[in-house]
Amino acid sequence: MPQMSPILWFLLFIMFSITMMLFNNMNFFSYKPLITKKTESKLMFTKNKYWSW
């Protein structure tokens, strides 16, 4: 049975790592969250909370 040299294992690892990173980046950046007007107004008008210890 033929064996792979260490450099080929390393190249295989690099190839799969790059593929995984590209796949994860494409999935991460393809999602666009929907922000409704209700949440936008909530975020804009938050009250400051002062803690007294």
Determine the pLDDT at residue 23: 97
For the stretch 7-52, pLDDT in tens is: 999 999 999 999 999 999 999 988 777 776 655 555 556 667 777 7
Determine the pLDDT at residue 3: 84
Quote the pTM value: 0.53
Residues 39, 33: Cα–Cα separation, whole Å: 12
Predicted confidence (pLDDT) at residue 1 exceeds the cutoff of 60 = no
Helix residue ranges per DSSP H, 1-53 = 6-30, 37-44
Q: How is residue 45 annotated by DSSP?
A: T
Domains of the chain by residue range: 6-45
